[in-house]
Chain A
């Protein structure tokens, strides 16, 4: 839901390295914000002549569109002990994320227009960044009857998904996709054959064998991706495959894309920078859906972002309290927080030269904006002033205690990072400034 209270007045960012993946711009320059919108972008002009404006000297740091995170569990309604729109949005701001797209598997499930209204109101009153709700694709996430996609779209649902409980019945999925097409609604699929993956707590393979843990084979994902791509061919619907983790899934999606279908896909930052070896001695913060895979799968995901075959990166922010994580691996909850570490973890892929800065940032800004139909993610006049100023190189260590999220279940606990957000602006309002900057 777009915030209405734009920051008034004029702010000028000078001495910045402007990066705009939408236009390919990467140049030193300055940028002016007026009334919540970008008024001008001036590569080459590092200094500004304004006198009546607030001047921010970027010190050569990188200024780019704020990040859009398309997979966030924000806790509301029903799980406020884990997260709230307020706490999630503060974590987002600290991580340079200016737009959160939130999961509908709340309590109650967001499957009615009234709940979309509720979400919008709470976001407006408590969140410091933009927050948009996805709605359930089927009523109660039961996989039987589709939701009121027309009424929910009108109320402001940005996409439709049954999340990690994907619709098992292919006929129900077919009709939901067909009906969604009627309203040009986006369906987000999280592919997993639940029977095949049943009981799996990590990737199936050598490590699961050594740890004595039940595994979920990559095939459980690939089979579902295959099915959904066939349904796209049948229905002509638009689908975004939210999170893939296997090279074979990407192959199937790329084939469908090449055939001219309106298909996109994403990957979690966790599957880009971590692998199953990180689980080590049963560390439950690495228990995720989809599971961390083998290193060759991780490399295929990174290559997918580098080449553009994978469109977006998400944090898959999923706060879990200590109660549900401090358990034997097999009993622990799935999920990790990620809003605040999304950008630094992504930058590690730039620093180790796996992914160029431009495709990396495109997957975090303009690509999700296009897929979800948001007026955001670009540095151009009239675009909303959703911006992040990034120090690319500053080394720091992740200390869970300092994270803004209500839960501290980060797989990056103690990890050395390089680079982070210095300042985050949402519609012209400064919503985060790093201490000491």
Chain B
């Protein structure tokens, strides 16, 4: 044991972060509290720490990503880890055996932390069963994106001082969004009232069984909301005929000032990025004082630092 050894993070004793599902409110809160401190530490001129010195972090991205990958890379580097980025096209790799072979190969390189994004729901968990290191899910298909949910929760908490009791509208392509799934789990676990707002073609069947309120008009969904979280509408939703056109989507489900007026006057506007201006969000709203979209990016790095620190500590505490 070296002097850099830290005790396991009180409140988050797990080996991996595979999803929000199954996490308790105290576990989520422990990560948020830790991340909150990293926000302040990262604002100073001296951003370099050595908690992860000597550790190898591999960012394994089967799906292209700019912001999430660089956020994890920055987080690892600020903590002193050696970070390797590996970009693999999941489309060129057949699933199943080959995926596990990839895991075994990587495992032989003895990384300490694997950050994985994959286009198939459940793929990250499958990989986690085959490796000896800690695994962080950086997004698996339309299933989960837990660090996004944590950074969103922390952004809300820093602005509103709490999460419990808030009315939070998650708006847009719910069916295909891992961000929506992780967020509704995290925010409901923390006591918020969550509404899913979308055209019926972008709501999963039986969405009403998820313990949230369903709205099919944006105006209804925003009524009295404290937080408005917009999701990205991908072009492929129009190609696959779930929405007739971008202009119709913007007219009925795009966030502009007229629709935002239904929310509370002090409501904040969030977006996981990258934004489609003029599709799900009007430029004027994206750049409005109530928009916290750029702050979400900053807090994202702090959240990932907190998660890396927690998993590293838990790993060291294991026999």
- Taking Cβ atoms with an 8 Å cutoff, the residues of A that contact B are 139, 144-151, 172, 175-176, 178-179, 181-182, 235
Q: List 30 A-B contacts (CB under 8 A).
A: A139-B244, A145-B244, A146-B244, A147-B244, A148-B244, A148-B245, A148-B247, A148-B248, A149-B244, A149-B248, A150-B248, A150-B251, A150-B252, A151-B251, A172-B241, A175-B201, A175-B241, A175-B242, A176-B241, A178-B201, A179-B199, A179-B200, A179-B201, A179-B242, A179-B243, A179-B244, A182-B199, A182-B200, A182-B216, A235-B200
Complex Cα distance A175/B240, Å?
10
- Nearest Cβ in chain A — how far from B141, in angstroms? 20
* Cβ-closest chain A residue relative to B205: A234
From residue 151 to 210 of chain B, which have CB atoms closer than 8 A to chain A? 199-201
* Cβ-closest chain B residue relative to A184: B216
Please tell me if the beta carbons of B199 and A151 are within 8 angstroms of each other in the complex. no
* Shortest beta-carbon contacts, A-B, top 5: A148-B248, A148-B244, A145-B241, A178-B200, A179-B201
Complex Cα distance A6/B241, Å?
42
- Nearest Cβ in chain A — how far from B280, in angstroms? 15
- Main SS at interface, chain A: helix
- Nearest Cβ in chain A — how far from B294, in angstroms? 31
Chain A neighbourhood of B247, CB < 8 A: 148, 151
From residue 242 to 279 of chain B, which have CB atoms closer than 8 A to chain A? 242-245, 247-248, 251-252
Chain B neighbourhood of A150, CB < 8 A: 248, 251-252
Complex Cα distance A145/B248, Å?
13
Interface-centre pick from A144, A179, A235 (highest chain B CB count, 10 A): A179
Complex Cα distance A147/B241, Å?
9
Please tell me if the beta carbons of A182 and B201 are within 8 angstroms of each other in the complex. yes
Complex Cα distance A182/B200, Å?
6
Complex Cα distance A151/B244, Å?
10
Please tell me if the beta carbons of B248 and A181 are within 8 angstroms of each other in the complex. no
* Cβ-closest chain A residue relative to B239: A145
Complex Cα distance A146/B242, Å?
8
Provided the pairs A151-B248, A182-B216 are in contact, do residues A144 and B241 lie with their beta carbons within 8 angstroms?
yes
Chain A neighbourhood of B216, CB < 8 A: 182
Chain B neighbourhood of A145, CB < 8 A: 238, 241, 244
* Cβ-closest chain A residue relative to B245: A148
Complex Cα distance A360/B242, Å?
40
Interface 0/1 of B224-250, CB less than 8 Å to A:
000000000000001001111101100
Complex Cα distance A172/B244, Å?
11
* Cβ-closest chain B residue relative to A181: B200
* Cβ-closest chain A residue relative to B252: A150
Complex Cα distance A374/B215, Å?
27
Q: A182-B199, A182-B200 are in contact. List 6 more A-B contacts (CB 8 A).
A: A139-B244, A145-B241, A145-B244, A148-B245, A150-B248, A178-B201
Complex Cα distance A144/B238, Å?
11
Chain B neighbourhood of A172, CB < 8 A: 241
* Cβ-closest chain A residue relative to B241: A145
- Nearest Cβ in chain A — how far from B1, in angstroms? 58
Chain A neighbourhood of B199, CB < 8 A: 179, 182
Complex Cα distance A235/B216, Å?
14
- Nearest Cβ in chain B — how far from A20, in angstroms? 36
Chain B neighbourhood of A146, CB < 8 A: 241, 244
Chain A neighbourhood of B242, CB < 8 A: 175, 179
Complex Cα distance A148/B251, Å?
10
* Cβ-closest chain B residue relative to A176: B241
- Nearest Cβ in chain B — how far from A21, in angstroms? 34
Chain B neighbourhood of A147, CB < 8 A: 244
Chain B neighbourhood of A144, CB < 8 A: 241
Chain A neighbourhood of B252, CB < 8 A: 150
- Nearest Cβ in chain A — how far from B30, in angstroms? 40
Chain A neighbourhood of B238, CB < 8 A: 145
Interface-centre pick from B242, B244, B247, B251 (highest chain A CB count, 10 A): B244
Complex Cα distance A181/B216, Å?
10
Complex Cα distance A146/B251, Å?
16
